[in-house]
Amino acid sequence: MTPNVGTVDRIIRVIIGVVAAYLGYRAGGAAAWVGYVVAVIMLGTAALGWCALYRLFGINTCAVKK
């Protein structure tokens, strides 16, 4: 897996992940699960530096040379 998520993108994903986790905590029922799923995806892609959707669409925000 070649990294395709840049530094700024990763920071934004961490912020979105934390906010989604908090909103999931505050919400109830199905909304909580949606928040948790979004949080896991955002935090996971930020930690790995790789996004499957970016790969699918050929997007690369990472400065790493191929």
Which pLDDT score, from 0 to 100, does residue 66 have?
57
Residue 38 falls inside a structural domain: yes
Residue 65 falls inside a structural domain: no
Per residue in 39-55, pLDDT (tens digit) is 999 999 999 999 999 99
Alpha helices in 1-66 (DSSP H): 7-26, 29-48, 52-57
Which pLDDT score, from 0 to 100, does residue 64 have?
61
Higher pLDDT, 43 or 65: 43
Q: What percent of the chain has pLDDT over 90?
A: 88
Residue 51 falls inside a structural domain: yes
| Overall domain count for the chain | 1
Print the domain residue range for 44.
Answer: 7-57
Cα separations in angstroms, 57 against 14, 19, 20, 34, 51: 22, 26, 24, 24, 10
Name the pTM for this structure: 0.88
Residue 49 falls inside a structural domain: yes
- Indicate the pLDDT class of residue 36, thresholds 50, 70 and 90: very high
Residue 2 falls inside a structural domain: no
